[in-house]
Structure 1
Amino acid sequence: MLQHFVHYALHFVVIGFIAYLFDKKNWKKYYLVLLATMIIDVDHLWANPIFDPDRCSINFHTFHTYIAAAIYLVLLFLIKNKMLKVFFFGLLFHLFTDAFDCLWSNTY
């Protein structure tokens, strides 16, 4: 129960603090960008079953691989647009959150 609370708090609450750190005046705009990074989970729809509580997302789902993470990291540093930087940071934070969840449940 605590693990699920922490997982979703990282996905929905902590990104609010991150958005505030990016821009105190426009944090809501950046929160929405970070929230939009949940689109990464579309790759869960290709899995069978779609949800498996004992499965680690990292290196199982297409957009949750180490290769994808490397691409997000490179794009984070190459892109000049602040919104896109926040988006790629959000994708990496999403992967961090999922990896933390895998470590917690010993499914890594």
Structure 2
Amino acid sequence: MTTRALLHLLLHAAVPALVAWLFYRDRLKSIGFLRAWGLLLLGWLIDIDHLLADPIYAPGRCSIGFHPLHTAPAIAVYGALVVPRATRLVGVGLLIHIALDALDCLLMR
């Protein structure tokens, strides 16, 4: 595994943790850091669409625009999930995931 790929995976856990820590660390009675981080990590669920690709994992392939859950219509839905309070953290987690995948695509060029 390359350093870029390892960093990419690490950022998928670290960035949601940082967001949860910055915005939810003081809300122990309502949502709390761990619950917020868990909901943000649900953004990883969109990687299920990698199972449709052959090969499933290709270190040099850009996910954005290639996998169905990494396309513009899907990203618009993730943006809409940020509006209702009940789905906000999941939506933010999905958008963080897409942003990190887009960053990875830039680093591959």
TM over 0.5: yes
Structure 1 CA distance for aligned equivalents of residues 35 and 70 of structure 2 = 25
Assess if the C-alpha contact under 8 Å between 2:80 and 2:91 holds in 1. Answer: no
Q: Look up the match of 2:94.
A: 91
Structure 1 stretches of 4+ moved >4 Å? none
Structure 2 CA distance for aligned equivalents of residues 28 and 86 of structure 1 = 12
Normalising to structure 1: TM-score of the pair? 0.87
Q: List alignment gaps of at least 5 residues for structure 2.
A: none
Q: List alignment gaps of at least 5 residues for structure 1.
A: none
Structure 1 CA distance for aligned equivalents of residues 46 and 55 of structure 2 = 17
Structure 2 CA distance for aligned equivalents of residues 2 and 48 of structure 1 = 23
Moved more, 32-41 or 55-64: 32-41
1:10-89 superposed matches below 5 A: 10-24=11-25, 25=28, 26-77=32-83, 79-81=84-86, 84-89=87-92
Structure 2 CA distance for aligned equivalents of residues 88 and 6 of structure 1 = 23
Structure 2 CA distance for aligned equivalents of residues 4 and 27 of structure 1 = 27
Give the root-mean-square deviation of aligned CA atoms.
Answer: 1.3
* Superposition deviation, residue 20 in structure 1: 1.3
1:101 matched to 2:107? The reply is no
Assess if the C-alpha contact under 8 Å between 2:43 and 2:93 holds in 1. Answer: yes
Aligned residues between the structures: 103
Identity %: 38
